Amino acid sequence: MPDLGVALPAIVLAGAPAELELKAAYSIAYRAEVPIAGKMIVQHVIDALGASSHVGNICVVGDIECSGAARTVPSAGSLVDNLIVGMNACGSDGAGRVLVATSDIPLVTSAAIDDFVERCGELDADLYYSLIPKDACEQRFPGMRRTCARLAEGTFTGGNVVVMSRRLVIENAGLLREVVDARKSVMRLARLVGLRILVRAVIAQVLWPRAVNLALLEKAAGRILNAQVKVVQTPFAEIGADVDDLQQVQAVERLLKGV
């Protein structure tokens, strides 16, 4: 276990509007308010963070009432703006690193959080992004839908917990907005990551997984973000088990109730 020296402050992003199906079923405005196993979905996340030995103060970004957070601030709208207000509200540790989690992973546990932070090592990079092997997801939660990508090292799904530096968010807000906006446009993605890497990524998904490996992804992401990026593999599928529709809510409810 690395000697972190100080517990990381944590931001929980809880400003995402609820999908129409969830709004109709539960009369809520935000996804974070979905009730699962007796409490809001965001409360499950806060409770797991609060029990982690590597997490300090917790800041929730969203127009929502919950317990266990040192501070709750209103949503600023976009993902990047919410990250900024969260960073400003929670502060940072001596190295300027903050743990960020979405509010829609109710199965996450303190053990999963601790394991991820410990796998980040000395916390000397600007961004640590979590990846979960597809096999781990299928073994832990059979039948749960996840979007996966094939790489040279295996097939993975992205996690909903990251550790990032305050500098990355505050100094590169405009760049981060461009990256977030570009995710739905092939041409804008090509301009950001380079056509060569984009083509290799497509080839990896349909023909030859070895066309892209984790080292290439880290290098490309680091170049785009002007930062040091590290991909962290974790076997804890709970970190990537986000809930965004009624069927998933019901499945998680059964899991948490042991049905």
For residue 226, the tally of other CB atoms under 10 A from its CB is 11
Q: Is the pLDDT of residue 142 over 50?
A: yes
The span from the first CA to the last CA of the chain, in angstroms, equals: 35
- The span from the CA of 47 to the CA of 24, in Å, is 27
The answer to whether the beta carbons of residues 127 and 164 sit under 8 Å apart is: yes
Residue 2 domain-assigned? no
Q: Hey, is 203 helix, strand or coil?
A: helix
Residue 128 domain-assigned? yes
Residue 3 domain-assigned? no
Residue 215 domain-assigned? yes
Domain CATH for 33: 3.90.550.10
Domain of residue 176 covers: 8-257
Q: What does the pLDDT read at residue 210?
A: 55
For residue 122, the tally of other CB atoms under 10 A from its CB is 9
Mean confidence (pLDDT) of the chain: 84
Angle at 15 between CA 13 and CA 20, to 5 degrees: 130
Domain total in the chain: 1
Residue 74 domain-assigned? yes
pLDDT in tens, 71-107: 999 999 889 999 999 999 886 554 589 999 999 999 9
Q: What does the pLDDT read at residue 187?
A: 46
Q: What does the pLDDT read at residue 134?
A: 92
- The span from the CA of 79 to the CA of 75, in Å, is 9
Residue 1 domain-assigned? no
Residues 169-196: what's their mean pLDDT? 65
Q: Which residues, 6+ apart, have CB-to-CB distance to 259 below 8 Å?
A: 253
Residue 142 domain-assigned? yes
Residue among 104, 79, 93 nearest 10 (CA): 93
pLDDT in tens, 28-75: 999 999 999 999 999 999 999 999 999 999 999 999 999 999 999 999
- The span from the CA of 191 to the CA of 63, in Å, is 35
The percentage of residues in the chain with a pLDDT greater than 90, rounded to a whole number, is 50
- The span from the CA of 5 to the CA of 1, in Å, is 11
Q: Which residues, 6+ apart, have CB-to-CB distance to 196 below 8 Å?
A: none
